Amino acid sequence: MSLTIISLSTSLTKQSNHVKSIAEQLGFSHCGIAKAEFLEEEAPRLEEWLSRNYQGEMHYMENHFDMRLDPRKLVPGAKSVISLTYNYYPSEEDILKQKQTNDDTPKISKYAWGEDYHQVVKEKLKDFLIQLQETFGAIDGRVFVDSAPVMERAWAVKSGIGWIGKHSLLINKTQGSFFFLAEIICDLKLEYDNPFTTDHCGTCTACIDACPTDAIVENKVIDGSKCISYLTIELKDKIPEDFKNSFQNWMFGCDICQDVCPWNRFSKSHHEPKFKPNEKLLTLNRKEWKEITEELFNELFKHAAVKRTKFEGLKRNILFLEEGESL
């Protein structure tokens, strides 16, 4: 009996090692595996967060409550959640170009400098799943990258990739936090990694202190309705006047809490050609952004995440920055 158990354990180990080797070949920075089960600890946290209306106008967060907490409702018979990170930290050269523009130039979050990550990463995930099926046979699975009711940070912690920082983002000791999270939920049984149980933020409050809109209301809890990323992307209505002069020139997204995080000193440049920004994106000055045409918008963001806010949305954000400065 013991020999059978050892043999089965060895087989699961080999299968998991193969899964991780595919992840590495496809360019993912980290890969961890957790058992597909109900996220019992997350249920009351999510319920409390929603009850405080921290989702703002993101009403989709209120949908599929059970599905968010149990991956087996997304993939019936699921046994494993494969969590992955994909680096998007720009090159030092591109960061320098962006810094060399005037200090008052409107800024775009680093994750949106290149092509839309939803498409770039999802293509890799589809390839990943095909390789799993070629290796292990007819397994059932689905791929996700910030596009379905999946609590990706919770799964990344359960799979041992990192911990949740005070800014509520996942942090990895060797990579920081400038990466996308993605998942494959499948009915393949694998060896599971130990969850990450240590919080390495300690007494540091750099992200809390730096947030200009006080969106980090308590440790690991974000009032989404106050977050600059929410206000410049998700919010479709007029931006509340209360936030005038508090955006620090962010017109799409915000990197403040990540830029000040000490763990991001370990961030290394990505190697994804599709994340390379359009040269104009980093060199336009404030006047040029203010006068941006729909033609230029389409040229800059044809395949980028910024197109989500549409031309009118970006113009609204730029005008809001201008109005703040004129007060």
The span from the CA of 64 to the CA of 81, in Å, is 18
- pLDDT given at position 148: 87
Pick the closest to residue 108 from 243, 325, 297, 327 (CA basis).
297
- pLDDT given at position 5: 39
Catalytic residue (one of 70, 140, 146, 187): 146
Q: Mean pLDDT over residues 162-179, rounded?
A: 98
- pLDDT given at position 4: 41
Beta bridge partners of 221: 218
Pick the closest to residue 116 from 316, 305, 276 (CA basis).
305
Is pLDDT of 1 > 60? no
Q: Give per-residue pLDDT as tens, 53-99.
A: 999 999 999 999 999 999 999 999 999 999 999 999 999 999 988 88
* Structure token pair of residue 268: 């290394």
Q: What is the mean pLDDT of the chain?
A: 94
Residue 35: is it exposed, middle or buried by C-beta count within 10 angstroms (0-12/13-18/19+)? middle
> 39 and 104 in contact (C-beta within 8 Å)?
no
- pLDDT given at position 9: 57
Please name the amino acid found at residue 115.
E
Pick the closest to residue 83 from 149, 151, 25 (CA basis).
151
Q: How confident is the model at residue 324 (pLDDT cuts 50, 70, 90)?
A: confident
217 C-beta neighbours (distance < 10 Å), count: 14
- pLDDT given at position 7: 46
- pLDDT given at position 257: 98
Residue 184: is it exposed, middle or buried by C-beta count within 10 angstroms (0-12/13-18/19+)? buried
> 184 and 125 in contact (C-beta within 8 Å)?
yes
Is pLDDT of 245 > 50? yes
Show me where the domains of the chain are located.
2-101+111-186, 206-326
Q: Give per-residue pLDDT as tens, 259-316.
A: 999 999 999 999 999 999 998 898 899 999 999 999 999 999 999 999 999 999 999 9
Q: Mean pLDDT over residues 102-111, rounded?
A: 89
* Structure token pair of residue 149: 């009711």
Is pLDDT of 108 > 60? yes
Distance from the Cα of residue 1 to its chain's centroid: 45
> 250 and 107 in contact (C-beta within 8 Å)?
yes
- pLDDT given at position 201: 97
Q: How confident is the model at residue 102 (pLDDT cuts 50, 70, 90)?
A: low
DSSP three-state, residue 111: helix
- pLDDT given at position 10: 62
Residues in the chain: 327
- pLDDT given at position 327: 38
214 carries an active-site annotation: no
Q: Give per-residue pLDDT as tens, 124-143.
A: 999 999 999 999 999 999 99
Q: At what angle do helices 294-301 and 310-326 cross, to 10 degrees?
A: 110
Q: Mean pLDDT over residues 187-212, rounded?
A: 97
Between the alpha carbon of residue 185 and those of residues 41, 68, 74, 189, 270, the distances in Å are 20, 13, 8, 11, 25
Is pLDDT of 211 > 70? yes
Q: How confident is the model at residue 191 (pLDDT cuts 50, 70, 90)?
A: very high
Q: At what angle do helices 117-136 and 2-25 cross, to 10 degrees?
A: 140
Q: How confident is the model at residue 254 (pLDDT cuts 50, 70, 90)?
A: very high
Q: Give per-residue pLDDT as tens, 59-68.
A: 999 999 999 9
Instruction: Look at the pTM and tell me if it is higher than 0.85.
Output: yes
